[in-house]
Amino acid sequence: MNGPLLRHTWRSQRLRLLAVALALFGWGLVLPIVYAQFGATFRSLLESGIIPPAIANFGGGDIFTLPGSIALGFVHPIALILVCVFAVGFAASAIAGERQRGTLEVLLSRPVSRRTVYATLLASTFGFVAIAISAYLAGMFASATAAGVAGEIDASRLPLVWLNGLLLFGAIGSIALAASVSFDRLAPALGVTLAILLVSYFCEILGTLWPDAAWLQPYSLFHYLETREILTGSPDPFAFGLLSVVAVVAIGYALVVFPRRDLAAPS
């Protein structure tokens, strides 16, 4: 890793990171309060048969239990968009964006190898995602404590939830960085990453809502976000392994492709 590049990257993202972290902290506050206030009511509605059973497992979460609420908050589009500010937005533009602006060649004219540049930006991506997820979990735990329902989860399992989230969004970030090193312009890098992300999200959500489409779920990265399972004590280690493999493959691809690419003069 390169110290000056790392410092420059964090300095340039600090306000965005603060805004995203505050927003996720705020989002984390919401669902435990909703659960504490209306969970029992929703559960009785579900048991009365008014709410279709599929809704009870939207994206691997629900609002009838605290672990379900936390899981639902994680896969909700609001959380997804906020975390993806870094996992997709930052990562996809990290190299393709600099290339498009022409600043990559100023950077690479210094004694920094392309692999070092990549490793520094990868570490930054994981760092930003880690902070974003921490903010969400901190908000969630603060809210659950304030609402008096924190005792319904085993707090010692939260680091595992954090790790699982980090691996999911880290894998997405690694894919975005792999796209970023492959293109000279930001738009295709962002487009490819968003396409993968949306298809993956669609497969998971469709699978949870429609039993006939459940076979699509294993093809979605979001299927391996095991928040509820971790908090209820039955996580699948395969999920951690698979997300790690996806990240490693994307990182390996980038480490091979980026140093070998010809960087022609920006047009």
Least Å distance between CB 263 and other proteins?
Answer: 4
Least Å distance between CB 123 and other proteins?
Answer: 17
Please identify, among the stretches 89-97, 106-114, 182-190, 245-253, the one whose residues bind other proteins according to the rule CB under 8 A. 106-114
Least Å distance between CB 259 and other proteins?
Answer: 9
Whole-angstrom Cα distance, residue 144 to residue 208? 26
Number of residues that bind other proteins (CB under 8 A): 25
User: Which residue among 105, 146, 195, 210 contacts other proteins (CB under 8 A)?
Assistant: 105
Taking CB under 8 A as the rule, does residue 262 contact other proteins? yes
Least Å distance between CB 249 and other proteins?
Answer: 24
User: Which residue among 45, 55, 78, 106 contacts other proteins (CB under 8 A)?
Assistant: 106
Q: What is the per-residue binding string for other proteins in 192-231, x denoting contact by CB under 8 A?
A: ----------------------------------------
Please identify, among the stretches 35-43, 47-55, 95-103, 245-253, the one whose residues bind other proteins according to the rule CB under 8 A. 95-103
Least Å distance between CB 109 and other proteins?
Answer: 4
User: Which residue among 34, 46, 56, 112 contacts other proteins (CB under 8 A)?
Assistant: 112
Taking CB under 8 A as the rule, does residue 103 contact other proteins? yes
44 C-beta neighbours (distance < 10 Å), count: 11
Contacts with other proteins in 5-44 (CB under 8 A)? 5, 7-8, 12
Instruction: Choose among 142, 129, 29, 33: nearest CA to 82.
Output: 129
Taking CB under 8 A as the rule, does residue 267 contact other proteins? no
Residues that bind other proteins (CB under 8 A): 2-5, 7-8, 12, 101-103, 105-113, 260, 262-266
